[in-house]
Amino acid sequence: MAEGKLLVGVDIGASSIKVVQLKESRRALSIVRFGHVDLPRDTIIDGHVMNPSVVTEALQHLFASSKISQKEVAIGVYGQSVIVRKIAMPLMTKDELAESIGWEAEQHIPFDIKQMSYDYEVLARFPEEQRMDVLLVAAKRDEVSDVATIVRDAKLKPLVVDINAFAMQNALEKSLGSLPVDRTIAVVDVGAANTTINVLSKGTSAFTREIQTAGSSITEEVRKRCNLGWEQSEAYKCGAQGGLVPQDVNAAIDLACGNLAGEVHRSLDFYLATSGEADITRIYVCGGGAALAPLCRAIEEKSRRPVEIFDPVLAFTVDPKVDEAALRARGPQFAVALGLSLRRIREVRA
């Protein structure tokens, strides 16, 4: 359960920071402020901030330029230090679960439990089988602390720390009205350094995975095969170079998109093989990679499932003062930030 004022969503990604502020009315949720700022290369590697002062300054600039005065924020974490597991446990009461979850966490987290922050949620109870499914989430305490410190140094107040995979799930739920309970879908967030996969079954998260093949991998393939600089390769990938694109560049983009689509396909096949689910009926793609038509085509071809670009902005009204064209041009990139902006000041376990 959640009460109180909505938080500002802050998505600190590997290549950029995105922020969103919502306003609640009786009729709808409106986007009243948003912002985006690029970060220098290698500022963040695998979710770890290598240059904290750069991120702090970028946050301060972004909040000032976006005219966001609210300081209470929700932030997301991601990377190899984040662990998500769905575990089966004997049926027990809320108090019994609180007492035993620490021992269960030690069995399922491949790191020293003393170095981890963890949380949990009951997904489903099966009284007739005397068991229940529990979602266990953990992140390295130092990583969470480092990001929170950077945000505080920017004169902000981080009140909620979420997992990026769940933030984009919240945004998708808002977009669809509710998550389907009669079929299985997947949402794939293709960022600069990470591709996050979240499979949703019976209305809840059933499987998450992060792979290191992502947008930067496509740029690197263009750079390597076409003997170009990084900036020019990135411009060609994003369609910002102008004019005709050389044939070898298009070939490199297609090859890299096929490799990434193959990684996504293998992850989804692994889930189906280990879960017993019949099939995944649709794949939603968001993040910066959603703008790459060859990538969406490749995922559809490799997986043999319909692919839809997920633009979370469409689920909200947009305040007249907002530059709506600029916002919609980057719509799929704001999935995590919008999911975070749906969180509230007081979060209480149900």
Q: What is the DSSP string of 261-315?
A: HHHHHHHHHHHHHHH------EEEEESGGGG-HHHHHHHHHHHTS-EEE--GGGG
For residue 121, what is the enclosing H or E element?
strand 116-126
What is the pTM for the complete model shown?
Answer: 0.91
Mean pLDDT taken over the chain: 92
Compute the distance between CA of residue 37 and CA of residue 240 in angstroms, rounded to an integer: 17
Domains of the chain from N-terminus onward: 2-218+251-347 (3.30.420.40)
pLDDT tens digits along 134-157: 999 999 999 899 999 999 999 999
- Coil, strand or helix at 5: strand
Task: Evaluate whether 20 touches 33 at the Cβ level (below 8 Å).
Answer: yes
pLDDT tens digits along 204-223: 999 999 999 999 999 999 99
How many C-beta neighbours within 10 Å does residue 315 have?
17
Strand partners for 3: 346
The region of weakest confidence among 100-104, 174-178, 200-204, 274-278 is 274-278
